[in-house]
């Protein structure tokens, strides 16, 4: 009985890691759709978001069953509670990637990102993808050290966002108002993906150590 419970708990964590990989793919594909004005990719991301929603519902239900039937304590309780919160973080990241794809679809066949801001968005996407992947790897390996690195990566994302605002608010913005709105929204979406990755990493640290990370660099939810 106890062995089956541990297997069920391990299965939840494994599926969370797989869900993380799906989110990384969603961010990658939505970015390609955005920067290349690829309608087919945008539609794929939007359609596949339903898979993440279904995984969320399944994992949440399994966590509730484990809580109700096994009355876990200590580290196992931390893992289940954190898993329920991480699955919500992951589905939100998927939603944000979907929002990026929807802007790509809305502006098709035009590229939503002005040429001068493409390098900025390429970097933002790379940082966001890396952060989500690191959070998933840290969870899989129960590696609090790797999870702690995400606070520094989030600072890199914040700097990219500031750079974006300097261009947006500059006196020589050469693009349309519509483009400015798109850039502001898209930048916010990538920034929020990074924020959720940091929150997920803080939950990994809590699972492994029993303590929440401290300091101004950490976002908690």
List C-alpha distances in Å: 167 to 34, 80, 164, 175, 208: 19, 44, 5, 11, 41
Lowest mean pLDDT segment, chosen from 81-95, 150-164, 189-203? 150-164
Lowest mean pLDDT segment, chosen from 7-16, 17-26, 42-51? 7-16
Distance CA(106)–CA(148), nearest Å, equals 37
Delineate the domains of the chain, giving CATH numbers in brackets.
2-209 (1.20.58.220)
pLDDT confidence of 66, banded at 50, 70, 90?
A: confident
pLDDT confidence of 221, banded at 50, 70, 90?
A: low
By the 10 Å C-beta count (0-12 exposed, 13-18 middle, 19+ buried), 129 is classed as buried
- The residues, ordered by sequence, that sit 6+ positions from 123 with a Cβ below 8 Å of its Cβ are 160
Q: What's the start-to-end Cα distance of the chain, in Å?
A: 34
| Mean pLDDT in residue range 20-25 | 97
Per-residue pLDDT reduced to its tens digit, 183-193: 999 999 999 99
pLDDT confidence of 123, banded at 50, 70, 90?
A: very high
pLDDT at 118: 96
Q: Is-contact 144 206, C-beta < 8 A?
A: no
| Mean pLDDT in residue range 139-155 | 91
Q: Is the pLDDT of residue 219 over 70?
A: no
Q: Is the pLDDT of residue 73 over 80?
A: no
């Amino acid at each position: 009985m106890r062995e089956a419970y541990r297997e069920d708990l391990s299965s939840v964590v494994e599926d969370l890691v797989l869900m993380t990989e799906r989110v990384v793919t969603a961010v990658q594909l939505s970015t390609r759709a955005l920067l290349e004005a690829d309608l087919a990719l945008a539609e794929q991301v939007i359609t596949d978001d339903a898979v993440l929603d279904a995984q969320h519902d399944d994992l949440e239900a399994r966590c509730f069953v484990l809580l109700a039937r096994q009355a876990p304590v200590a580290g196992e309780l931390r893992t289940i509670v954190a898993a329920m919160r991480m699955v919500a973080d992951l589905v939100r990241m998927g939603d944000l990637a979907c929002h990026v794809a929807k802007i790509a679809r809305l502006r098709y066949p035009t590229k939503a990102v002005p040429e001068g801001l493409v390098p900025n968005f390429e970097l933002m996407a790379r940082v966001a993808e890396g952060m989500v992947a690191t959070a998933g790897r840290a969870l899989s390996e129960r590696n609090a050290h790797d999870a702690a690195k995400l606070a520094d990566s989030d600072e890199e994302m914040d700097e990219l966002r500031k750079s974006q605002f300097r261009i947006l608010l500059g006196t020589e913005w050469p693009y349309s108002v519509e483009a400015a709105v798109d850039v502001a929204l898209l930048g916010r979406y990538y920034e929020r993906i990074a924020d959720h990755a940091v929150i997920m990493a803080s939950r990994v640290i809590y699972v492994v150590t029993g303590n929440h990370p401290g300091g101004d660099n950490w976002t908690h939810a």
